[in-house]
């Protein structure tokens, strides 16, 4: 088996706890790996780096092309630009892919939910272009480019084809943002008509779309959207299948991929061995499939499914009392 070199960014808050748990599970399942552990976020400053996204960390991901990342803290309303936004832009990780599906033994309002949010990751209101025009008046620029809209639309249809999925739905607000959201719609229609007419295509205005999503998520398949809506919809979809503790994610570019859970650094439970590491373990499974390590990925999936089904080692967010470390131990004990 090939040995992989993977950049590991433990992150802030619960990040070090869930990434340590994930690392142990991946290794116990047989992944042959050299971890290149580097910081990002508040922990980078604590370790004496010059800024929250050290050049060494970016360079390592560029060199090795793959990273597993814990969440990082971003101050609200002031301070540094989000590490995540910087990382996604610097590495051109243009597609966020976030599957949200029902899990064995996790009871929620709906069964058999199987959604994938595909979020444009590099522009929209995350351009960071905010200005104070005169005191008391600020603007925030929403950027949409034909290149990025076409690229994310093509990614969504290609993903649908490769994963044998049936439908792409664009969530938009083009009735109000006629030019920016309108551009995404035009690009998605074009890619659908010219390249993927075999995949069903639909559009929904986001407000009505979110109502339909919570009324019956089973009517949707792939949800394609711009940056900010994708952020909100990722957490909404997480809520439909059991919460942030069970939803993985990846940020994909042409030259690199960074795998991370949807959740943040959860300062309210950090350092208490309370976090559910499953979302990052599942992100690790997505990473293994990206690396063509399908049999190790399957082993881990089978092991955590068994733990969930037995229901005796669940973390607090899923109604249990098992700690982060002990959940990882339970998964490891089920590896075959």
Q: Which residues bind ligand NAD (CB under 6 A)?
A: 14, 18, 71-74, 84, 244-245, 260, 263-269, 275-276, 279, 317
Q: Between 120 and 260, name the residue whose CB sits nearer to ligand NAD.
A: 260
| Residue whose C-alpha is closest to residue 17's, from 308, 285, 328 | 328
The answer to whether the beta carbons of residues 185 and 168 sit under 8 Å apart is no
| Residue whose C-alpha is closest to residue 238's, from 127, 69, 100 | 100
Distance in Å, CB of 282 to ligand NAD, minimum: 11
Distance in Å, CB of 35 to ligand NAD, minimum: 19
Q: Between 11 and 170, name the residue whose CB sits nearer to ligand NAD.
A: 11
Distance in Å, CB of 54 to ligand NAD, minimum: 16
Distance in Å, CB of 249 to ligand NAD, minimum: 8
Side-chain-facing half-sphere of 144: CA atoms under 13 Å: 23
Q: Between 191 and 269, name the residue whose CB sits nearer to ligand NAD.
A: 269
The answer to whether the beta carbons of residues 225 and 171 sit under 8 Å apart is yes
H-only helix segments in the chain: 15-28, 42-46, 55-64, 83-90, 146-162, 180-195, 206-215, 227-241, 278-290, 294-310, 324-333
Distance in Å, CB of 117 to ligand NAD, minimum: 14
Q: Between 145 and 273, name the residue whose CB sits nearer to ligand NAD.
A: 273
- Coil, strand, or helix at residue 308? helix
Q: Between 9 and 191, name the residue whose CB sits nearer to ligand NAD.
A: 9
Q: How far apart are CA 79 and CA 99, in angstroms?
A: 31
The answer to whether the beta carbons of residues 118 and 97 sit under 8 Å apart is yes
Distance in Å, CB of 234 to ligand NAD, minimum: 9
Q: Between 103 and 191, name the residue whose CB sits nearer to ligand NAD.
A: 103
């Amino acid at each position: 088996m090939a040995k992989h070199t993977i950049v590991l960014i433990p992150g802030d808050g619960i990040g070090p706890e869930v990434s340590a748990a994930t690392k142990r599970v991946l290794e116990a399942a047989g992944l042959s790996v050299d971890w290149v552990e580097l910081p990002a976020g508040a922990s980078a400053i604590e370790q004496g780096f010059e800024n929250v996204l050290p050049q060494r960390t970016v360079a390592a991901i560029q060199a090795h092309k793959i990273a597993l990342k814990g969440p990082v803290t971003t101050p609200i309303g002031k301070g540094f630009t989000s590490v995540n936004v910087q990382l996604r832009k610097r590495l051109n990780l243009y597609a966020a892919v976030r599957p949200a599906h029902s899990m064995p033994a996790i009871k929620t309002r709906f069964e058999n939910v199987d959604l994938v949010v595909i979020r444009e990751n590099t522009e929209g209101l995350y351009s960071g272009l905010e200005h104070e025009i005169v005191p008391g008046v600020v603007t925030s620029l929403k950027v949409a480019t034909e290149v990025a809209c076409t690229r994310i639309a093509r990614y969504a249809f290609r993903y649908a084809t490769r994963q044998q999925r049936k439908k792409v739905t664009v969530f938009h607000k083009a009735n109000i943002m006629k030019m920016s959201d309108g551009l995404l719609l035009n690009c998605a229609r074009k890619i659908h008509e010219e390249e993927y007419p075999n995949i069903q295509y639909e559009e929904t205005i986001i407000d009505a779309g979110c109502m339909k999503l919570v009324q019956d998520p089973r009517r949707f398949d792939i949800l394609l959207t711009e940056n900010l809506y994708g952020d909100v919809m990722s957490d909404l979809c997480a809520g439909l299948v059991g919460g942030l503790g069970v939803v993985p994610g990846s940020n994909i570019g042409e030259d690199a991929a960074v795998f991370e859970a949807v959740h943040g650094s959860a300062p309210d439970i950090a350092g208490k061995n309370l976090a559910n590491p499953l979302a990052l373990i599942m992100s690790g499974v997505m990473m293994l499939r990206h690396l063509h390590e399908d049999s190790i990925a399957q082993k881990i999936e089978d092991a955590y499914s068994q733990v969930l089904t037995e229901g005796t080692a669940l973390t607090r967010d899923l109604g249990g009392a098992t700690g982060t470390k002990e959940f990882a131990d339970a998964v490891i004990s089920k590896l075959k």
